């Protein structure tokens, strides 16, 4: 384990997550704009993005606060939106659980959808990476994302103009995630997991507190695990 391989892992992380730059900019700007419109000053808006650092949960909290929802309900709703982060944490543990505590804490703070998907797909592809390389790669993957999240929250709060809707940047998020997930379908079990999760997510879209997503995720994971077991019992190649 040398400094050079850590540095190159870090650089590779930056390169691999750079497609998300286009996603983060309009999303962060929009949060800055909406928070300002809701009456938050620049300090409060920035504190929100820096302390919470979770797009969808921030939008949820902001919306509910404006509707004068009781604080407890705001917290439960926003944390429910973020519940998938606990699943990301579990899924990252086999890869970076052996890192020093401060590094795990730092990785936890910057675990967002984008850094998670970039990180976990790399760790799956290259099982021989060392733990320090994985941490370096993960930190690389957040480098184009998290600073831009702060900066463009600020831009949105100060400038107050959102990216025009006709640019259709709302759809940058689904496109970026789909592009990132596609290479991860390495076995039939992965495909079954994804299809199950999609069907359940659509059926459970009306479940309150965004819990439909968690139900769909767990259903997909069970389907994937069962498919894997089924292939193992058949003795067929996975």
Partner 1 sequence: MIETGTLWTIIILLGIGSFGLRFVFTGLVGNRAMPDWLLRHLRYTAVAILPALVAPQVMWPTATDGVFDIPRAAAAVVTLTVGLATKNVLWAVFSGAATLYGLLFLLG
Tokens of 53: 């650092």
Binding residues among 122-181 for partner 1 as defined by CB under 8 A: 124, 165, 168, 170-181
CB of 4 to partner 1, least distance (A): 25
Question: Which window, 24-32, 145-153, 154-162, 189-197, contacts partner 1 (CB under 8 A)?
Answer: 189-197
14 binds partner 1 (CB under 8 A): no
Question: Which window, 4-12, 24-32, 49-57, 154-162, contacts partner 1 (CB under 8 A)?
Answer: 49-57
CB of 96 to partner 1, least distance (A): 6
Spatial separation of the C-alpha atoms in residues 123 and 128, rounded to whole Å: 8
Is the Cβ of residue 4 or residue 129 nearer to partner 1 in the bound state? 129
Backbone angles phi, psi at 82, to 5 degrees: -90, 0
Spatial separation of the C-alpha atoms in residues 219 and 18, rounded to whole Å: 31
Backbone angles phi, psi at 62, to 5 degrees: -60, -45
Is the Cβ of residue 158 or residue 179 nearer to partner 1 in the bound state? 179
Question: How many residues touch partner 1 (CB under 8 A)?
Answer: 92
CB of 6 to partner 1, least distance (A): 19
Of 181, 176, 220, the closest CA to residue 201 belongs to 220
Spatial separation of the C-alpha atoms in residues 29 and 131, rounded to whole Å: 34
231 binds partner 1 (CB under 8 A): no
Is the Cβ of residue 126 or residue 185 nearer to partner 1 in the bound state? 185
Question: Which window, 4-12, 26-34, 40-48, 156-164, contacts partner 1 (CB under 8 A)?
Answer: 40-48
Backbone angles phi, psi at 40, to 5 degrees: -75, 140
Is the Cβ of residue 3 or residue 166 nearer to partner 1 in the bound state? 166
Total residue length of the chain? 238
Q: Are 116 and 92 in contact (CB under 8 A)?
A: yes
201 binds partner 1 (CB under 8 A): yes
Q: DSSP character for 207?
A: S
């Amino acid at each position: 384990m040398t400094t050079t391989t850590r540095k190159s892992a870090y650089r590779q992380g930056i390169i691999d997550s750079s497609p998300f730059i286009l996603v983060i900019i309009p999303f962060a700007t929009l949060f800055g704009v909406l928070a300002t419109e809701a009456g938050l000053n620049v300090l409060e808006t920035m504190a929100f993005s820096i302390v919470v650092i979770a797009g969808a949960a921030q939008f949820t909290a902001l919306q509910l606060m404006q509707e004068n929802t009781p604080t407890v309900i705001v917290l439960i709703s926003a944390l429910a939106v973020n519940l998938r982060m606990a699943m990301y944490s579990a899924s990252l543990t086999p890869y970076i659980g052996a890192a020093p505590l401060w590094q795990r804490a730092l990785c936890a703070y910057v675990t967002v959808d984008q850094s998670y998907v970039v990180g976990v797909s790399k760790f799956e592809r290259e099982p021989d990476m060392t733990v320090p390389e994985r941490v370096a790669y993960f930190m690389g993957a957040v480098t184009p994302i998290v600073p831009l999240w702060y900066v463009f929250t600020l831009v949105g709060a100060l400038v107050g103009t959102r990216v025009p809707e006709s640019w259709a940047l709302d759809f940058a998020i689904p496109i970026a995630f789909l592009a990132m997930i596609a290479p991860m379908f390495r076995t039939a079990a992965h495909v079954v997991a994804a299809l199950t999760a999609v069907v359940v997510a659509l059926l459970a879209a009306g479940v309150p507190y965004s819990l439909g997503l968690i139900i769909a995720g767990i259903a997909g994971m069970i389907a994937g695990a069962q498919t894997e077991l089924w292939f193992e019992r058949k003795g067929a190649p996975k």
